[in-house]
Structure 1
C-alpha cells in the first residue's frame, strides 16, 4: 500500500462514514425516546441543559483520544493529567498568588508537558503507548496528591466563568467543547497533518517509505491530547469550584468508550471526531437516563460496560468486513 492509498478516502469509505452518522443518530434518538418513555422528567429542558453542561471535559478529552486511537495508540493517563492540571491551577491561585490567566496557562502547560513526555518516551524507546501511559497514570496521579497535599483545594468562583450559564443556560465550556470538536474534525479531514495521522494508523511503514517521519507526528498527537486533558481539568474545576486530587479516576475508560462507540477503530487508521462527539452524547444520555429511572450504581456500571463491549464487537465485525472487501 502506498502513502497516497493510505491517506485517501474512497467513495466506499465516505458511504461508510455516512452510514455511521446515521446509525449513531438513530441510537441516540432511540435512547432519548426510551428514557423519555420510562421517566416523565427526562424529556425536559433542564435534563438536556444538565447533560450539556456535564460533558465538556469528557468531550475535549475524547477529541484528543480520537487522534491517539487513529494512530493505533492509547493514552490511559488523561484522567490523572486532568487532576494534576487542575491541582496546579488551584495551587497557582491559592498558594502562589498568581493571576487567574497565568494560573490557567500553567494548568494547560502541565497537561501539554505530560502528554509530550508520554509521546516522546513511547516513540524514543519504541514502547507500547499502553505501558507508557499506564506508568504516567500512576506518576501523574501522585503528582496531583503532592501538589494538593492530598486535599481538595477550593478555588471558589475564580475560574467559574467557564461553567457559568451563558446561552439559554448552556455553559461557555460546552460551547468551547463544540468548537474544539469542529476544529478537530477539520484538522483530521482537511489538513495534511490529518492525512498523515490516518496514514500512520493505516500503514506506518508505507508512510516511512514515502519519506514521512511518523515520530514527530506521534509526539504531537500525544502532546495535544495532554493539552486537552489540561483544559478538561480547568473545565471540571470551574464546574465544581474546586480541584480534587481524586478527580478523573476512571474517566479514561469513559473517554475511550466514547471514541470506540463513535466508530474509531482500536486497530488505527479510521475515525471521526464528530462521531466521537456522538459517542460522548450517547454515554451522557445513558448515564442521565439510568439515573432518572432509579438504576443502582452497580446496574449502571454493568449496563455501561455492556454497551462498551458491544461497541468493540461491532467495530471488530466492521473491520473484518472491510478486510474481506479489500481482499
Structure 2
C-alpha cells in the first residue's frame, strides 16, 4: 500500500492536482484523471482531497467568463467547451482537443458533493458556490441528456451512457447545495433508461460503463450485473480490459489491454457486496502490479509490453481503492468470526 501511495504522491503537483502520468504524452492535468486520482483520500484525515478540488474550483473561476457564455449559448467548436486537459499550472492549451467531455463535469460535481458528505471543507466562499451553480447551468444549456460528446475516451462524438450517468450523479450529489430544477435530473435518468445497457450507438459495451456502478452507483443492481456480465465476457483480457471492441489506440494487432480494468471491476463487485469476486479481481490486479507500484496505463495490444504511460495516476488510485476495500472486508470477516466465537 505504501508503495502505491508513494507513486501517486509522486504525480501530485504543488497546486494540489495530479498529472495523468510523468510520460511525455501524459504530463498534463485532466479534470477526469484528477478526480479519480484523489479518490483514495476521500475518507482520510489529510487535506489532499479538498485541496485538489479547491485547485479545480480556482481553475473554473479563472475561466468563469467562458462558462458564463455557455450557460446561455451552446458551445459548438471544441475549444468553446470547458477544457478537459490543462498545463501543469492549470492554463488552457491551444492544441486542438476533443474537449466535449460532459462526464468530467459530472464527475467533478459528484466529487464535490461526496466530499461534503464526508465532512470535508469543500466550499470556501460564495464564489465557489457560484461556480457550482454555473456548472449546473452549463449542463442545462448543453441539454446533456441528448448532447453528443467525446466521452471518457475523448474520441467519437456521440451520446454516451457514461457521460449522461456522470451528469446525473453529479447533479444529484450537489442537489442541496445549489438550485437544480428537477427536470435536469429526470431527463438524464430517462435518457439512461433508453440508452442502457449500451454505451452508445456505436458501442454495445464499453469499459466506461463501469463508472455507472463505481463510483457513481446510478444504475439498479440488475443493470449493474448486466453491465458486469457484458464487460467481463467481452472486454476482459490477460493484462486488464480492452476499452471496447475495435479500439485502435495502441493496437498491435489486437486491442490494447488497460490495467485499471481489473481493480475497477473489483470495485464494482465490492459495491454490489460480492466480496469473493472483488477479491478475485484484486488477485488479478496483483498479477500485473509491479513491485514498485508503477502500474502502467495499458499493455500494447497483442504484446506483453506496457506502453510508455507508466505509472498512470488513475490506475494507481484504482489499485489503492480496491486494496483498501479488500482489507476492510477481511477485517469485517475476522470481527464476525470473533463475535461468533463468543456466542
Bigger relative contact order (CA 8 A; separation at least 6): 1
More helix by share: 1
TM-score (norm 1): 0.27
TM-score (norm 2): 0.26
